[in-house]
Chain A
């Protein structure tokens, strides 16, 4: 594909439900980042992968949030027992992995928790 894709684009969940958000990075991109963008705010870092290794998960807001990238390509962000404060747009970005490289962003998944 030409760019980073994310699915679903929109997700509505009832409070307490588990959700899984998928990110397909650009082919060959080593690094993958997840960001959370609350309404009216800038994106905030959640977690970062280099290939299949999760190198930084310091931005995950609670232990209800879990991310994986088992084969070093597709990544899934899972949120357990969703709460209303989890409502946000979840952005995925990928890069070639070198220091000067641009991060390419997907269109995001808008999660609404009722």
Chain B
């Protein structure tokens, strides 16, 4: 069975500092990997996804993530945090095919002025 572990339920960074949100997964088959962002009282918005090909994936709002098969990781980074980045971030995995997503528990990002 697939599972996702997000290390750190809450991460706090200063405005302008590097953002690093960690995600490790377990999957018996090559996975599709996703990062979603959720603002208060809103649905999930896709930041980026890895399916095949280049392991460094660029997404919206300056975020990127790197798929490292040997480490079973898909950490999310952004070089410089902005106040508007404060939100809940979810890493998710699914098999190839149109299957349901398996989510991590989420990491709440706070950005301090």
Q: Which residue of B lies closest to A47 (CB)?
A: B100
- The stretch among B13-21, B38-46, B67-75, B78-86 that forms the contact with chain A is B38-46
Does A82 count as interface, using CB distance less than 8 angstroms? no
Count of A residues near B, CB < 8 Å? 29
Contact yes or no, A95 B98, CB < 8 A: yes
Given contacts A42-B104, A107-B41, is CB(A102)–CB(B49) below 8 Å? yes
Residues A41 and B106 in contact, CB atoms below 8 Å apart? yes
- Chain A facing B: main interface SS: loop
Known: A48-B100, A103-B101. 17 other contacts (CB 8 A): A35-B100, A35-B101, A35-B103, A40-B106, A42-B103, A43-B101, A45-B100, A45-B102, A50-B98, A56-B100, A95-B98, A100-B32, A100-B51, A102-B46, A105-B45, A107-B42, A107-B43
Q: List 24 A-B contacts (CB under 8 A).
A: A31-B98, A33-B101, A40-B9, A40-B105, A41-B105, A41-B106, A42-B90, A42-B104, A42-B105, A43-B103, A44-B103, A45-B100, A45-B102, A48-B99, A48-B100, A50-B98, A91-B43, A91-B44, A93-B44, A95-B98, A100-B51, A101-B98, A103-B46, A107-B43
